[in-house]
Amino acid sequence: MPKTIFERIVDRETDADILYEDEYVLAFRDIAPQAPVHILLIPKQHHARHATVPPENHSVFSHLLAAAQKVARQLKLEQSGYRLVINNGPDGGETVPHLHLHLLGGRHLAWPPG
């Protein structure tokens, strides 16, 4: 299988505006931001999407959420608030088949989403 754009970012074959990195997670700015703050958090290990992560790798979910809290703090979003989103599959609006968590903030976000 060819690498996704996000695997290429993890492997430093494509540039990204990286804000946070640890052993498991990389966080970088979305190339087409939908809010003043729009960060993508991805596991370094490849998983296509939320629905395909096997039970033995479920720690990836806590790594992503914990990293998102750190990035939100880094960006001083705790008081104003933010939204975390995972788009899974066609109805979810997923476009890149590498699990990722969107962190959106910096403006009031409507609910329900479109």
Strands 18-21 and 37-43: unpaired
Taking the least distance from each CB to ligand 5GP, the nearer of 15 and 56 is 15
109: three-class secondary structure by DSSP: coil
- Whole-angstrom distance, CA of residue 13 vs CA of residue 109: 33
In the list 3, 4, 30, 61, the residue contacting ligand 5GP (rule: CB under 6 A) is 30
CB 30 within 8 Å of CB 38: yes
Q: Compute how many residues bind ligand 5GP; rule: CB under 6 A.
A: 13
Position 87 contacts ligand 5GP (CB under 6 A) = yes
Instruction: Tell me which stretch binds ligand 5GP (CB under 6 A): 24-32, 59-67, 75-83, 103-111.
Output: 24-32
Position 7 contacts ligand 5GP (CB under 6 A) = no
Supply the minimum distance, in Å, between the C-beta of residue 78 and ligand 5GP. Answer: 23
Taking the least distance from each CB to ligand 5GP, the nearer of 84 and 96 is 96
CB 9 within 8 Å of CB 48: no
102: three-class secondary structure by DSSP: strand
Annotated catalytic residue within 38, 46, 50, 100: 100
H helical segments located in the chain:
5-10, 59-74, 89-92
Under the rule (CB under 6 A), what is the footprint of ligand 5GP?
5, 16, 28-32, 40, 87, 93-96
